[in-house]
């Protein structure tokens, strides 16, 4: 989620002063923003060397771990907010990771590309996998091993016993609350354990 307006939309879900864990924090942009604009503290988790370096250069706490190995080093409910932004679609253990997010954080926030966005539907209707701005990869080289839709996530959340506190789509940096499953390329959910 590099888009600044999208970052701000997600950041607005994080209460000021929160202790935040950012799973798959990339270059640490979100954490740096939350630190500077919302007085948050916390840590990022990253696997890629280049991103670990970028976080260190921003002065963001980063812990180099493979998320597929779980979050065993983090205690139950030890964070106010756990972020999983643009990460879920890269993980094999999607369901377990979602449960872990809800275990470690009082509140979880996830975002991911919405496969049901209308240009994707058109593409599939025309018989081809979509290649768009939000899903720019060919089917054979995509890092997105778990493609899902806004509506799919609602189902998984229910299955995992999560209560959705807020949910919306983002399209071109704008919050989409009307028909997000059709109208938004990015899905955002804020939830807690029920």
Partner 1 sequence: MSFAQPLPLRSRAVLRDYQLVYETYGTLNEARSNAVLVCHALNASHHVAGTYEGDAKSTGWWDNLVGPGKPLDTDRFFVIGVNNPGSCFGSTGPTHINPATQQPYGADFPVVTVEDWVDAQARLCDALGIKQLAAVIGGSLGGMQALCWSMRYPDRLRHCIAIATAPCLSAQNIAFNEVARRAIVTDPDFHGGHYQAQGAVPRRGLRVARMIGHITYLSDDTMAAKFGRNLREATAPRYTTQDIEFEIESYLRHQGDKFSEYFDANSYLLITRVLDYFDPALEHGGDLSAAFAAARAKFHLVSFTTDWRFPPSRSREIVKALLDNRLDVSYAEIAAPHGHDAFLLDDARYHGVLRARFDRIAREIALEGAR
* Interacting residues toward partner 1 by CB under 8 A: 19, 43, 49, 52-53, 55-57, 59, 61-65, 73-75, 78
Which lies closer to partner 1 via its Cβ, residue 12 or residue 73?
A: 73
Residue 135 DSSP symbol = S
Which lies closer to partner 1 via its Cβ, residue 5 or residue 57?
A: 57
- Find the shortest distance in angstroms from Cβ 59 to partner 1: 5
Give the three-state DSSP class for 119: helix
- Find the shortest distance in angstroms from Cβ 92 to partner 1: 20
- Find the shortest distance in angstroms from Cβ 164 to partner 1: 28
- Find the shortest distance in angstroms from Cβ 32 to partner 1: 12
Which lies closer to partner 1 via its Cβ, residue 55 or residue 67?
A: 55
Q: CA end-to-end span of the chain, whole Å?
A: 28
């Amino acid at each position: 989620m590099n888009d600044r307006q999208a970052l701000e939309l997600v950041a607005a879900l994080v209460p000021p002063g929160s202790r935040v864990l950012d799973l798959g924090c990339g270059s640490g942009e979100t954490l740096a923003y939350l630190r500077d604009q919302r007085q948050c503290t916390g840590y990022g988790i990253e696997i890629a060397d280049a991103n670990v370096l970028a976080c260190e250069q921003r002065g963001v706490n980063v812990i180099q771990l493979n998320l597929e190995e779980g979050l065993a080093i983090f205690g139950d409910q030890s964070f106010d907010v756990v972020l999983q932004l643009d990460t879920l679609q890269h993980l094999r253990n999607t369901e377990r990771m979602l449960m872990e997010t809800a275990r470690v954080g009082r509140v979880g926030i996830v975002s991911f590309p919405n496969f049901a966005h209308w240009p994707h539907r058109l593409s599939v209707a025309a018989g081809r996998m979509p290649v768009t701005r939000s899903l720019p990869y060919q089917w054979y080289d995509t890092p997105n091993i778990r493609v899902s839709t806004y509506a799919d996530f609602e189902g998984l959340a229910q299955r995992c016993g999560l209560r959705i506190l807020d949910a919306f789509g983002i399209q071109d940096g704008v919050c989409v609350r009307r028909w997000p499953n059709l109208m938004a390329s990015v899905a955002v959910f804020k939830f807690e354990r029920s």
